[in-house]
Structure 1
Amino acid sequence: MTEQQDETSTVDGDLTPIKPVESELLVVTGMSGAGRSTAANALEDHGWYVIENLPPQMLGTLSELVSRMPGALPKLAVVVDVRGKALFADIRESLNALSAAGVAYRVLFLDASDDTLVRRFEQGRRPHPLQKDGRILDGIAAERVLLAEMKAQAEMLLDTSDLNVHQLGSAVTELFSESGPVVLTLTVMSFGFKYGLPVDANYVADVRFIPNPHWIPQLRPLTGQDEAVSNFVLKDNGAADFVDRYVHALEPVLEGYRRENKHYATIAIGCTGGKHRSVAVAIELAKRLSQLPRVTTSIRHRDLGRE
């Protein structure tokens, strides 16, 4: 993560204003069991002032405080959940009040698969806050309906299904530095289609058009992180041309994210098993994207090591 020092940044020769960090508020929400408390702890470790379980109706009062004292809480994060279902129903109105007061905010939404959420609730031996007399899955389904709009409009989406508490803390650290987020952070993820699509991907590309190193005996036990496999994947068969054109196609998308004040996106590259082709292409793609102005990249290999 890099810290913004100046009030302007040069992009293609033009001066583009960067909004001061002190005018920004982070709203952390998402599915119960997806790791909101872990994310809050990670933010606190990086100097954020975190308010947990704030009723959404209090956001308006909070916006007045931030507006009157913009430097008093330079890094403020508010964790909002659905335990008070009636209170949460008014969250859109509360967020609109923030905008009307001139307080910039972003939403970090934490999600996980139903199976993962059920397992976490069962391990913790506690009910879902919305399940009432039904099953945990009933509570999860009700919560997904309630959170659908928030998820659709969130600037940042983190799927924590495959993350433990330490990995989630690291993911939050990648998003936020001492003074806030970098302008645009891209996670380039490799995955295997046979294990399902990544739910937090903004863009998905299929590289199964590239011949599979799995069928080359000397390459089969290796991965896309090995030079021999990377050379095989990227040297011929249109892979290098695909990377070139994909980077070019993404450039206006990334610029649009900046205009819309989106700071985080995930680009997923898939092959059959997530071991050879997608890994090699994801590494090369991340390398190329990191050369774009005001872009930071990280790489995640979701299915590497799975049989």
Structure 2
Amino acid sequence: MNGRETFPRFLAIDIVLATVFIALASASDVSAQTSQETEFSVPVRIVPDKLSVQEDLRQRSAAERHDALDLEAQQRSAVAAERAAIASETQLWIGWLQLFVSVIGALGLIVTLLLTWASTKAAAAAAKAALDANMLARENFDLDQRPWIKLERPVIQLAEHRGTFAIQFSVEAINVGKTPAKETELHLQISFGKIVTPSVDGVEAYAQSVANPGTWRNSHKIVFPNAGRPMDDAVILDGPPPEGESCRIRYCVNYRGAPTSAIYHTAGEVTFPVSRLISSPKSQKNSWKYNFHGTGSVA
């Protein structure tokens, strides 16, 4: 009986104790939570010492200076990049301008060279024209001042002496120029054959062949202006003239001009039958009808 009553009593006590314990635990948790909440809600101010403040200020100042230097470097880089871009653009424009000026200069140099060449060519042409004009004026002066020998109709005779035959030739040389004709001399060339007409080329060729003063026999005759002088010569034949043939006499009078040493000549040619030379009397020689040709030029 006592044992049964004791067991419920202890059970009740245990239950009460457990309830109290739980209540205390809950109260302890609530108190701890309340204490924790009360602890964090109170503001805390930490007062650093003087060294920590100075170190913090130094680090902060160094960071700010680093940031300022970095920003300044970035700004300088940006300004340098901008200036480089401007310089590149300016250099590009300067390059184009220099190229343009160089092209203009090259074109100007080419134009200058062309103008210089044209000027030189014009100057050379003007100098040549002036030289030609001076030469022409000199030639005109020489032509105006030179002697001019004109030959009259020649007189031809056949002479015989003791079986020796000779053809005598005489012609009047008249100076129609303005200066004396010096060293005037007559040259003859006589041939026989079937001669029909005079030859101008033959007369000129003969005049050129006797133009050398070294072959002249007499160089002392002078014919003054507006004056005449007879020029005589004779050609000795090997025998009597051949009858039935024609005779051709080419003659040339050479002379020098007074202002210059140029050699001039006047030449001509006559053709006639030999029978007329033999049968005609001396008094009729001047009235002969024969072919006559004369030419005058510088030898």
Normalised-by-shorter TM-score class? under 0.3
Higher strand share: 2
Greater length-normalized contact order (CA 8 Å, ≥ 6 residues apart)? 1
Bigger Rg over Cα: 2
State the TM-score, normalizing by the size of structure 1.
Answer: 0.19
State the TM-score, normalizing by the size of structure 2.
Answer: 0.20
Higher helix share: 2
